[in-house]
Structure 1
Amino acid sequence: MPQSEPDRAPGAATGLQCLHEDSHLLVLAKPPGLLCVPGRGPDKEDCLSRRAQAQWADALVVHRLDQATSGLVLMARNTEAQRRLGRAFELRQVHKRYLAVVAGALAQAPDGAWSTIDLPIAADWERRPLRTIDPHRGKPSQTRWRSLGYDAATDSSRVELEPLTGRTHQLRVHLAALGHPILGDALYADRCVQARALRLLLHAQWLAFEHPGTGQWVEFTLPTTF
């Protein structure tokens, strides 16, 4: 049941773009700047999950994206589907790929081969909610990446990312640790790199997993706008 073209009709009343809807799950397109779940305070009540539940009362949270990140988000339609999808995320059986634009020239491996960042990530308690690379306290964190090309005019590289673990801010922290922060990153880039984009240029563009109801392998793609 692969689906790559968005269906814009479902969810239109709540400003959501729905790529797929069935009795077990929803595949939604989260815009940048929207929380996945409510935050603290009345100004953080609006979020993807509440907009989804206004259209599909049975929608249940499975996973999250950072507020600044855009892209594909799954929601379950019943507790059994939520349990199965949650377990699949825990066991790394949900495959995810992101696209980012980073500062500087990332060396491109021969034949487009993937490289791996293997740097442990820990909470930076003195600067919460930031994370930091910490070889002593950090949890194992791995990200596969490959460069899609360098643009000399903007001194930036497009990079495809595949997180093998799911640490908070993992992709942002790992790329900053390489010396190539994501453009528009208000947390891990300096002011110059932040100012080079109006938003964080990080997008969850592809998801692949076993459907919790049918057992069929499914893939969903959402092209980026940057």
Structure 2
Amino acid sequence: MRSPLPPREGISATRLRAPGGKQTSAKAHLPVPETVESWLAQEFPDHSPQDRAWLTEHPDGGCLTDETGRPAGPDDPVMPGGFYFFHRPVPHEDPVPFALTVLHEDRDIVVVDKPHFLASTPNGRFVRQSAVTRLRIELNEPDLVAVHRLDRVTAGLLLFSRRPETRGAYQVLFQNRRVHKTYRALAWLPDDFDPHTLPAVRRTRLHKTKGDRQVVEIPGAPNTETRLRFEGIRGRAARRLPPESAPVVGPEASLPNHEAELTSIGEFALEPVTGKTHQLRVHLNGLGVPMVGDPVYPADWAPDPYDFSDPLQLVADGLQFTDPLSGKAREFQSNFPLSVPTGLAR
């Protein structure tokens, strides 16, 4: 259900659903509180009555409304199973000092180059400093929605939908894997690296434990697939991985020497067939060639999110698809370069 509240400073309203009503959610069986205030006390037990009053009474507050857009006062009855909307207070965020670049725009979509370190969508501590929020403000378009996502530390192409009327057609493209995506990456190479032993496809099973930053490869039926191609040496350096950083290696690993000294930097072309979290980073790391600038693989260094000194050398480089509205072939290319660390370029 679409919010009756427009975004505020580029940030969408939060949605709540009341107990009771004809619904399939976990709250359907719960008793319906008599008033909005008593319901909010249940929803936000750690907040004081004064804090909750900010939602319904303060002129600059959350502007709690029902699904029709009617303001909901603290003494109003609760609509069983109904949707309510409000704006959460959003704290200050230090700016991410890199700009979004618009590469293409038409009536229905906008394609941008997202910089490293900028979140794609509002998430956790990054709400104002996200591509969605910033682009809504820059273009003065509150209906902009990202159709897919990139990791915060990944740069490159991000596609936005402009109109709710046509948004679903583009979302289905990505959901049904009808978009051909290509990536470029720089990775550290061991001294004994042999590109002829590199598999053309890597298929492994990825697993992420809740609360862990790292995704790991585990035994079992593959749930991910990446096509990869070595493009050549781009620099020479020296880096040694600690033994404890060795990842779980899948059955297709052909470069198992994770404790070897890494002496070169190579470029890879990557095509994700599936789209799991950190998939490309984990797959290269599992082959013994971790990406340059990766703060999580092979070892999680608990990176400072505002340390911009060593960006991950991974770029979402290309998007190709048949436009679901016009039937025409669409192709977009990122302008972001890969950057070999200073002094190491070949």
Matched, 1:220 2:332: yes
Q: How far apart are residue 128 of structure 1 and its match?
A: 1.8
Residue number in structure 2 paired with 1:61 = 146
Secondary structure in 2 matching 1:50: helix
| Structure with more of its chain in strand, by fraction | 1
Distance 1:131 1:191 in 2: 11
Please, which of 291, 294, 304 is the counterpart of residue 185 of structure 1?
294
Please, which of 167, 181, 186 is the counterpart of residue 96 of structure 1?
181
Q: Any idea what the Cα deviations from partners look like across 1:145-173, whole Å, max 9, x if unmatched?
A: 00000246231110000000000010011
Secondary structure in 2 matching 1:120: strand
In the superposition, the TM-score normalised over structure 2's length comes to: 0.55
Distance 1:132 1:167, change over 3 A: same
Q: Any idea what the Cα deviations from partners look like across 1:11-55, whole Å, max 9, x if unmatched?
A: xxx9421000011101011000000111224x5431100111111
Residue number in structure 2 paired with 1:7 = none
Residue number in structure 2 paired with 1:174 = 283
CA RMSD of aligned residues (A): 2.5
Matched, 1:86 2:195: no
Question: Is contact 2:285–2:298 with CA below 8 Å preserved after alignment?
Answer: yes
Matched, 1:146 2:232: no
Secondary structure in 2 matching 1:119: strand
Q: Any idea what the Cα deviations from partners look like across 1:67-100, whole Å, max 9, x if unmatched?
A: 0000000011122432122211122110000010
Percent identity over the alignment?
31
Distance 1:189 1:203 in 2: 19
- Whichever residue aligns with residue 102 of structure 2, its letter is C
**Structure 1 stretches (4+) deviating beyond 4 angstroms?**
none
Residue number in structure 2 paired with 1:22 = 106
What number of residue pairs does the alignment pair up?
205
Question: Is contact 1:108–1:148 with CA below 8 Å preserved after alignment?
Answer: no
Runs of 5+ consecutive residues of structure 2 not aligned to the other structure? 1-97, 238-263, 304-308, 340-346
Distance 1:152 1:17, change over 3 A: closer
Residue number in structure 2 paired with 1:160 = 269
| Structure with more of its chain in helix, by fraction | 1
Please, which of 319, 322, 326 is the counterpart of residue 207 of structure 1?
319
- Whichever residue aligns with residue 79 of structure 1, its letter is P
Secondary structure in 2 matching 1:224: coil
- Whichever residue aligns with residue 145 of structure 2, its letter is L
Distance 2:234 2:288 in 1: 17
Distance 1:109 1:96, change over 3 A: farther
Question: Is contact 1:141–1:166 with CA below 8 Å preserved after alignment?
Answer: yes
Q: How do residues 114-129 of structure 1 correspond to structure 2 at under 5 angstroms?
A: 115-125=200-210, 128-129=212-213
Distance 2:201 2:213 in 1: 25
Matched, 1:108 2:195: yes
Matched, 1:31 2:115: yes
Question: Is contact 1:24–1:213 with CA below 8 Å preserved after alignment?
Answer: no
Runs of 5+ consecutive residues of structure 1 not aligned to the other structure? 1-13
Residue number in structure 2 paired with 1:11 = none
Residue number in structure 2 paired with 1:10 = none
Distance 2:286 2:227 in 1: 14
Q: Any idea what the Cα deviations from partners look like across 1:175-210, whole Å, max 9, x if unmatched?
A: 111111101101113489x9xx81100000110012
In the superposition, the TM-score normalised over structure 1's length comes to: 0.82
Secondary structure in 2 matching 1:53: helix
Distance 1:95 1:114, change over 3 A: farther
Distance 1:190 1:129, change over 3 A: closer
Q: How far apart are residue 213 of structure 1 and its match?
A: 2.5
Distance 1:98 1:83, change over 3 A: same
